Amino acid sequence: MSQTIREAVEAFGRDVCAESAEDLSFPTSLDASRRVLRAVENPDIGMSDLSKIVVAEPLLSAKVIRLANSVALNPNNQPVLDVRHAVLRVGMDPIKALAMVLIMDQLRQSQRHSGCRSLCNQLWERSVHVAALSYVLARKLAHHLNADEAMFAGIVHDLGRFYLLSHVPDYPVLLEDPVVLAQCIDDLADQATKMVLNHLNLPASVIDSVLASREYSGEMPPTSLADILFIAGAVSPSRDPFEELDTRITPAAVDAAKFGLDQGMVSEVIAASGDEIYSIVVALES
């Protein structure tokens, strides 16, 4: 590593570490989605008021209706066409996840450099698949866990790396070496994730599970949200783009096999739930 790149890595890490959860800098285009997220977090809000908030955000409205009509939430094929009925069918936690999807998508779209944009696109695709898989795995393998919370945690589990990538163009020398860039992002990922999720006032249970999901307990069926996230990441068809670049990291699929993940059981669940998973992926991505 050249001296110039080393200095850029140190400056990047120093500047990110100097930020606090209160003054993180997000693009102004995220304000609407963050308002929705704060509203949904209000324990006193009712479905009627929530419907009014969702109606005011066209992108969110479209996603809520699309998710409400997905195979996962509409197995009897009784479509809803208006936001109020869609909100009632979807519920609070999935709407919170959809607001977060918009935040992440806007972070992705704000990328100014092709290298960062490519990594963000791959992370985006992976996050959507992990969210869909987490929802189905929680519902089919861990009945005591909240499947809606699992989907939400799957959406936000890589938000720290999204946030870090959004600031990389301010340190253009980092873009000269993809391996160094990946290692730099991975070294700061947990700290950034904790800062960003705290900034968004997410529940401690979600933050703790996301941070704990980097490792697998080996329990099967899974007993924790962290394990659900780990397994979803290990079996996701969308691979982690950083695993290939940062050779210090053991791929999740390798760790899962080492700790005795019952691949047969998971494969059966995924095969039996293919339509549900696909419908959630489409609803989140579109």
Confidence grade of residue 91 (pLDDT, cut at 50, 70, 90): confident
pLDDT greater than 80 at residue 82: yes
pTM for this structure? 0.87
- Listed in sequence order, the residues at least 6 apart from 42 whose beta carbon sits closer than 8 Å to its beta carbon are none
Average confidence (pLDDT) over 183-187: 92
Give the CATH superfamily of 3-285: Hypothetical protein af1432 (1.10.3210.10)
More confident of the two residues 86 and 59: 86
C-alpha span between 156 and 48 (Å, rounded): 26
Tell me: the pLDDT tens digits for 208-266? 999 999 888 888 888 999 999 999 998 899 989 888 888 888 777 777 766 667 778 88
All structural domains of the chain with their residue ranges? 3-285
pLDDT greater than 60 at residue 29: no
Tell me: the pLDDT tens digits for 8-27? 888 888 887 776 555 666 55
Confidence grade of residue 65 (pLDDT, cut at 50, 70, 90): very high
- pLDDT at position 25 is 61
C-alpha span between 255 and 234 (Å, rounded): 8
SS3 sequence of the chain: CCHHHHHHHHHHHHHHHHCCCCCCCCCHHHHHHHHHHHHHHCCCCCHHHHHHHHHCCHHHHHHHHHHHCCCCCCCCCCCCCCHHHHHHHHCHHHHHHHHHHHHHHHHHHCCCCHHHHHHHHHHHHHHHHHHHHHHHHHHHHCCCCCHHHHHHHHHHCCHHHHHHHHHHHHCHHHHHCHHHHHHHHHHHHHHHHHHHHHHCCCCHHHHHHHHHCCCCCCCCCCCCHHHHHHHHHHHCCCCCHHHHHCCCCCCHHHHHHHCCCCHHHHHHHHHHCHHHHHHHHHHHHC
Closest listed residue to residue 163, CA positions, set 44, 16, 7, 49: 16
Confidence grade of residue 157 (pLDDT, cut at 50, 70, 90): very high
Confidence grade of residue 169 (pLDDT, cut at 50, 70, 90): confident
- pLDDT at position 220 is 85
Average confidence (pLDDT) over 62-75: 92
More confident of the two residues 42 and 82: 82
C-alpha span between 90 and 215 (Å, rounded): 31
C-alpha span between 45 and 49 (Å, rounded): 6
C-alpha span between 197 and 201 (Å, rounded): 6
Contact 53, 39 (CB under 8 A): yes
